[in-house]
């Protein structure tokens, strides 16, 4: 059944649905959006606020941010290497190493999410 045929068969229900939906969306949309944006200042919505940068002796850069409202720890590792850094003739090495990082090997199985 096509959508237009469905609408023709259910004209009255479609009319009331569209009417009610429009009324809900138009009735309090502006004050609702204004009160939501006023509740949280824009400065607190940025993700780089209070990020601390530490460079270790081995050159590793560590970025940390404490979020007291979230009782979790997240760790991400980013490497500044990739296919653009590969020499001619060794194409695909960066991609292979990427797979080893998240799939592991038979000697070094993956251990994400485990302590």
Structural contact between residues 56 and 62, judged by C-beta atoms closer than 8 angstroms: yes
d(CA 76, CA 69): 20
- Which residues are CB-contacts of 86 (< 8 A; sequence separation ≥ 6)? 92, 93, 94
Question: Catalytic one among 57, 66, 86, 98?
Answer: 98
Task: Show the CA angle centred on residue 39, arms to residues 38 and 42, nearest 5°.
Answer: 65
Does 86 participate in catalysis according to the annotation?
no
Return contacts of 71-78, CB within 8 angstroms, 24+ apart.
Answer: none
**Active site residues per annotation:** 98
């Amino acid at each position: 059944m096509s959508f237009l045929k469905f609408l023709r068969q259910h004209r009255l229900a479609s009319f009331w649905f569209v009417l009610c939906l429009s009324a809900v969306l138009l009735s309090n949309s502006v004050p609702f959006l204004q009160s939501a944006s006023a509740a949280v200042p824009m400065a607190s919505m940025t993700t780089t606020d209070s990020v601390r940068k530490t460079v270790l002796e081995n050159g590793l850069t560590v970025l940390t941010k404490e979020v007291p409202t979230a009782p979790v720890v997240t760790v991400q590792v980013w490497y500044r290497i990739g296919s653009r850094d590969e020499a001619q003739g060794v194409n695909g090495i960066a991609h292979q190493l990427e797979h080893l990082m998240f799939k592991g090997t038979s000697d070094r199985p993956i251990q994400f999410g485990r302590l």
